[in-house]
Each structure stands twice: as structure tokens, then as C-alpha cells.
Amino acid sequence: MASLRLGDTAPDFEQASSQGLIRFHEWLGDSWGILFSHPADFTPVCTTELGLTAKLKDAFSERNVKVIALSVDTVERHSQWIPDINTTQGTTVDFPILADADRKVSELYDLIHPNANSTLTVRSLFVIDPAKKIRLIITYPASTGRNFDEILRVVDSLQLTDHHSVATPGNWKDGDDVVIVPSLQDPEVIRQKFPKGYQAVTPYLRLTPQPNR
């Protein structure tokens, strides 16, 4: 199938997991979702990633985000591996890990890249909004663990910009100034939307304090 793109509807599926059968869209409900794949169980980088994800439980919950992992290993393998993650990372994995042994979900989300590895899933991550639209896709090489602080930053940006006429500049983090979108030109509308005022660095680069702060 063709690769998924931003704005596409995240494919729905039913698949076994470490927490039972997952009906994906039903499981997401009205939440944001993060689906991330890892090459295999009992591997060092993946162990640190899933441990970090578990430690960020409260941060994801505050943002109304559900997380779900995936590899082509079986439920039995997941169940054997999770205690290792909990012990070595000092945490408790309480989110589901999809057991995609039949590659069903991997094919839907284009997670098998033959030029990288013909059997294992790549280290991809999807951010999905409550309307089930894909809002972010990042794919890392197997040797590089993901930066979950960056994932949280992107979720903060998406949730902010969905509700205000702003975009977030490079290296932005929650609480920093944002930019007014170029399509907004009416001075009266700008005054109403941004009562804290703004700084026009150039006619198209207008900085304003984060509206929801």
C-alpha cells in the first residue's frame, strides 16, 4: 500500500496485545493517540524507550494521550519481556504492546522497510488526533532511540495550534512566545484574539505570548 501521509485517517484494526484484543479506533475513543513501533522485544534500545514511555504516564494523561506500542513478536514474548523493562528501567509498563506476528498492522502503517530489514518493523511513531487523523509521522533508524520530550513538545504544539490562530517557532516549548499565522491580517480581529499584544518583527513574523497561558 502507499505510505500514510499527514491528514490521512489512521487505519483501524483489531489485533492482539499484551492487554488483550485491541479495536484501535474504539480503544482511542475521544483521546489523542501515539502508536509507535519497535524492531523487536528483548532489545536494548527498545527496553529504554518503553521504560521511558511508562515513566511519562502522567505527562501523557495530562494531554489526553493514549500510547500503544507494536512489534512483530507474540503476546507471550511481550509478557516475558515486560518484567525486564519494569526491573531495569524502574517503572511499570501499563500500556498495551500490540503483538503483530501476522504483520497486519505493520502492513497498514507501512512499518516493514525491506531496505532496512525485511522482517522487523522500523522505529516509527504516529501522533493521531481525536478525529483519528494522523498529525505527525517520525521514523528513526533502529540504532537511534526516540526523544520523547520532542513527542510531548509536538503534542503541545498541535493541541495549542488547533485552538488558536498561531504556529510555534523552531525550538518552541510550552510557555514560549508563538507566531500569529500569516493568514490572519485584520487588525481588529488580531486585537481581539491576542489581547496581550504582539511584536511585529517583520510584516509576516509576528510574535505574541502563548494565548492559553
pTM listed for this prediction: 0.92
Out of 34, 46, 112, 180, the active site residue is 46
In this structure, are 190 and 117 located in the same domain?
Answer: no
Which CATH number do you get for residue 82?
A: 3.40.30.10
DSSP 33: E
Low-confidence spans in the chain with pLDDT less than 50: 1, 118
Q: How many domains does the chain have?
A: 2
Q: What is the pLDDT of residue 123?
A: 83
What is the residue range of 117's domain?
Answer: 14-145
Whether residue 186 lies inside any domain: the answer is yes
Q: How far apart are CA 190 and CA 174, in angstroms?
A: 21
Q: What is the pLDDT of residue 119?
A: 53
Sign of the alpha-carbon dihedral angle for 109, 115, 121, 124:
negative
DSSP 6: T
Phi and psi, residue 43, nearest 5°: -120, 150
55 and 48 Cβ atoms separated by less than 8 Å: no
153 has catalytic annotation: no
DSSP 213: -
Q: How far apart are CA 154 and CA 115, in angstroms?
A: 29
In this structure, are 139 and 191 located in the same domain?
Answer: no
Query: Which triple of cell numbers denotes residue 175?
Result: 510557555
Q: What is the pLDDT of residue 117?
A: 53
